[in-house]
A and B are shown apart, each in its own frame.
Chain A
Amino acid sequence: MAAAMDKVADHHKQKQICASRPAYRQGRRDRAVKVYTVNQESRYLLVQGVPAIGVSEDLVKRFALYGAVQEYRILHEYPAEEFTQAYWVKFDRLQAARVAKRKLDEYSFFGGVLHVSYAPEFETVDDTREKLGERRILIANKTRGKDQRVKQQPVSSQQERPKVQASTSASTSQTEPSHGNKYQEGFQPVPSEVETFPALPAPPQYQWYHPAQHQSQWDIPKVASKQGVFPVGYDARLSVQTPNASQSNPRHKTPPDNKAEDSGPLFGPQLPFKDQSGDSKEGATGQDVIRPDLVPRQVMAGRKRPAPPGFFGEALEEEKDSKEKDEEEENDEVQKTSCPDTGSSSMNRTAVFVRQKMRQISQTRTLSSSGRSSKSGSSSSSGSSKDTTRRRI
């Protein structure tokens, strides 16, 4: 379709936002005046405004959140703004394309704003036939239930439909593989100058969404709310410390599994010890730049108890006081548990710290009741001092 490439199709252009709507029907997002029917929608999407800085993989990963991406290309012939590229993305299912388009249109991506539109002109005849058939089935399923509830008559809308219904419903699942074959054989919607990527891996199948778990085949990937972009539980940060990378670096004594996993109100961020500041930049693995000297002020401000020893990376001092000997034991325990060889987790350290603190509290209680100075143990406090002497061993 070289002709279609020379002139940008109308439905690829972004229409002007309607500004004159009265307040009662002004939606949350600004939209143009446009009607979407089954003809406008398609499994094929055109993504414009992608910065030309080698972000193919990231882009496809983002799109793959909403459903399996079958194929994707960069359209070099497509008229695009300077330093941007146009991508062609093909989804397995129309519903996934719908959600992806809704969520990722006007999305800020690596400094550029994406403009996502449907591209039904890339469909084959079979694609179109299947799309219409799916729409039929959907409406039939939705309205059949209603009719049965309301009128208590079995609605057999199939009998009115022409013979196409039998062929499309049977072929919905079976023509999927043949689509790919047919597409590669005969149909050439993309100009031959399009750069194909033989070395690129297949689009990532980020299977956070497992169709088998859902009862209805028409379920779509769920996001937290209508304004949400990412599925529930998806970590969208660009670089996160992974346990593998941290374990491989023995200097990382406290690798967090996931920063989002809160170790409780008693702990701030798990910062590595100060002696690692030498190799803070890990460009090779793409990890975060480590700044052990930085502690967020919120951590400091919110801290009502003193930080546990060793928290800021200072070396632990030998304390003569028996009370602190206990803490040292505890800290050794803490350090032991935080050794990467044993596969520590932040939760162990929390539990240890909590236990330690509880002991401190109980100790101060017993000590204050018996009097700090009376180490010999007077008669009144013999019972409690027994406890304390026991602890001091």
Chain B
Amino acid sequence: MFSSQEYLEKKTGQSGVGRLQYLQSLVTEFQDTDKEDCKEQVLANLANFAYDPINYEHLRKLNVIDMFLDSLTEENERLVEFGIGGLCNLALDKQNKEHILANGGVDLVIQCLSSRNEETVLNAITTLMFLTTPASKPAITRLSVVECMLRFQLSKNSRLSNLATVFLEDYCSRQQVEEARQAQTGDAVGISLPAEPQQT
């Protein structure tokens, strides 16, 4: 599932490009290029690297977490999708978590909940779950978020409803859920659901 250090050294060989150097060249390309599809490709590549904890040190050194956070406010939907995917992949590590929380990650991720892209929303829910700490819990389980999750729970998309159910059952107190339910029956201002596939 994950690479080990010996595996990486074996794959690199003696005159090859090491992991840190390779990631560095990816970051450089992302910063220098103007082409949108190059940016998408590099960001997706980095997000996939973020799956393996062996790379976390390198990614922190290269400020890739900030890169992901910045991409959440991009207009290009694919950049947002890859950015939130990268954050979802590395949000479980303690140091990464602290970094994200310190840089206002929670609000940015909550914004992603209103995206039209299904994968973005799913990754955003999971990232919120992974970012939950006793300190950040009040911010993550605020009323608007819980209301949003209640609506997701009723969705026909089973991936969405499953994640929403897990969020509500494991990360919110009953009281919070009750408050949100009552608020929902009144006023419908909130976060909209992502676009669902049209039924034929």
A residues at B contact (CB < 8 Å): 1, 3-4, 6-7, 9-11, 18, 20-22, 24-25, 33-40, 95, 98, 120-125, 127-129, 132, 135-136, 138-140, 142-143, 146-147, 155, 157, 160-164, 167, 189, 218, 220
Q: How far is the CA of A125 from the CA of B9 in the complex (A)?
A: 40
Q: How far is the CA of A254 from the CA of B170 in the complex (A)?
A: 65
Q: Is the CB–CB distance between A3 and B199 below 8 Å?
A: yes
Q: Is the CB–CB distance between A140 and B44 below 8 Å?
A: no
- The answer to whether B137 has its CB under 8 Å from any CB of chain A is yes
Q: Is the CB–CB distance between B170 and A139 below 8 Å?
A: no
For the complex with contacts A7-B197, A160-B94, 16 further pairs of A-B residues with Cβ separation under 8 Å are: A4-B156, A9-B197, A25-B26, A33-B41, A37-B85, A39-B123, A121-B159, A125-B165, A125-B166, A129-B170, A132-B126, A132-B129, A139-B93, A143-B93, A146-B53, A160-B134
In the assembled complex, the CB of B162 is this many whole angstroms from the nearest CB of chain A, namely 4
Q: Which of A22, A40, A123 is in CB contact (< 8 Å) with B158?
A: A123
Check A3/B156 contact, CB under 8 A, given A25-B45, A143-B53: yes
In the assembled complex, the CB of A121 is this many whole angstroms from the nearest CB of chain B, namely 5
Q: Is the CB–CB distance between B44 and A37 below 8 Å?
A: no
In the assembled complex, the CB of A62 is this many whole angstroms from the nearest CB of chain B, namely 21
Q: Is the CB–CB distance between A164 and B171 below 8 Å?
A: yes
Q: Which of B41, B92, B198 is in CB contact (< 8 Å) with A135?
A: B92
Complex interface: chain A residues within 8 A of B103 (CB): none
Check A98/B93 contact, CB under 8 A, given A3-B199, A125-B165: no
Q: How far is the CA of A39 from the CA of B159 in the complex (A)?
A: 8
Q: Which of B17, B86, B162 is in CB contact (< 8 Å) with A125?
A: B162
Q: How far is the CA of A40 from the CA of B123 in the complex (A)?
A: 9
Q: How far is the CA of A48 from the CA of B81 in the complex (A)?
A: 26
Q: Is the CB–CB distance between B132 and A121 below 8 Å?
A: no
Q: Which of A37, A147, A163 is in CB contact (< 8 Å) with B51?
A: A37
* CB nearest to B165 among chain A residues: A125
Q: Is the CB–CB distance between A162 and B132 below 8 Å?
A: yes
Q: How far is the CA of A22 from the CA of B33 in the complex (A)?
A: 12
Q: How far is the CA of A10 from the CA of B29 in the complex (A)?
A: 29
Q: Is the CB–CB distance between A35 and B82 below 8 Å?
A: yes
- The answer to whether B59 has its CB under 8 Å from any CB of chain A is no
B residues at A contact (CB < 8 Å): 1-2, 17, 22, 25-26, 29, 37-38, 40-42, 44-45, 47-48, 51, 53-54, 56-57, 78, 81-82, 85-86, 88-89, 92-94, 97, 118-119, 122-123, 126, 129-130, 132-134, 137, 156-159, 162-163, 165-166, 170-171, 197-200
For the residues of B in contact with A, the DSSP-based class is helix
Check A162/B88 contact, CB under 8 A, given A7-B200, A37-B51: no
* CB nearest to A95 among chain B residues: B1
Can you sample 9 A-B contacts with CB below 8 Å?
Answer: A10-B118, A11-B119, A24-B25, A33-B78, A35-B119, A120-B159, A125-B166, A128-B163, A132-B129
Q: Is the CB–CB distance between A39 and B163 below 8 Å?
A: yes
Q: Which of B53, B137, B159, B198 is in CB contact (< 8 Å) with A162?
A: B137
Q: How far is the CA of A154 from the CA of B17 in the complex (A)?
A: 33
Q: How far is the CA of A127 from the CA of B161 in the complex (A)?
A: 13
Complex interface: chain B residues within 8 A of A164 (CB): 166, 170-171
Q: Which of B88, B158, B165 is in CB contact (< 8 Å) with A39?
A: B88
Q: How far is the CA of A163 from the CA of B170 in the complex (A)?
A: 7
Q: How far is the CA of A7 from the CA of B199 in the complex (A)?
A: 7
Q: Is the CB–CB distance between A37 and B200 below 8 Å?
A: no
* CB nearest to B141 among chain A residues: A162
Complex interface: chain B residues within 8 A of A120 (CB): 159
In the assembled complex, the CB of B186 is this many whole angstroms from the nearest CB of chain A, namely 28
Q: How far is the CA of A122 from the CA of B157 in the complex (A)?
A: 10
Q: Is the CB–CB distance between B56 and A143 below 8 Å?
A: yes
Complex interface: chain B residues within 8 A of A129 (CB): 166, 170
Check A4/B92 contact, CB under 8 A, given A39-B122, A142-B53, A162-B170: no
In the assembled complex, the CB of A27 is this many whole angstroms from the nearest CB of chain B, namely 9
Q: Is the CB–CB distance between A37 and B162 below 8 Å?
A: no
Q: Is the CB–CB distance between B158 and A189 below 8 Å?
A: yes
* CB nearest to A139 among chain B residues: B92
Q: Is the CB–CB distance between A162 and B44 below 8 Å?
A: no
* CB nearest to A42 among chain B residues: B159
* CB nearest to B117 among chain A residues: A10
Check A162/B94 contact, CB under 8 A, given A21-B41, A123-B162, A125-B162: no
Q: Which of A35, A127, A167 is in CB contact (< 8 Å) with B85?
A: A35
Complex interface: chain B residues within 8 A of A37 (CB): 47, 51, 85, 88-89, 123, 126
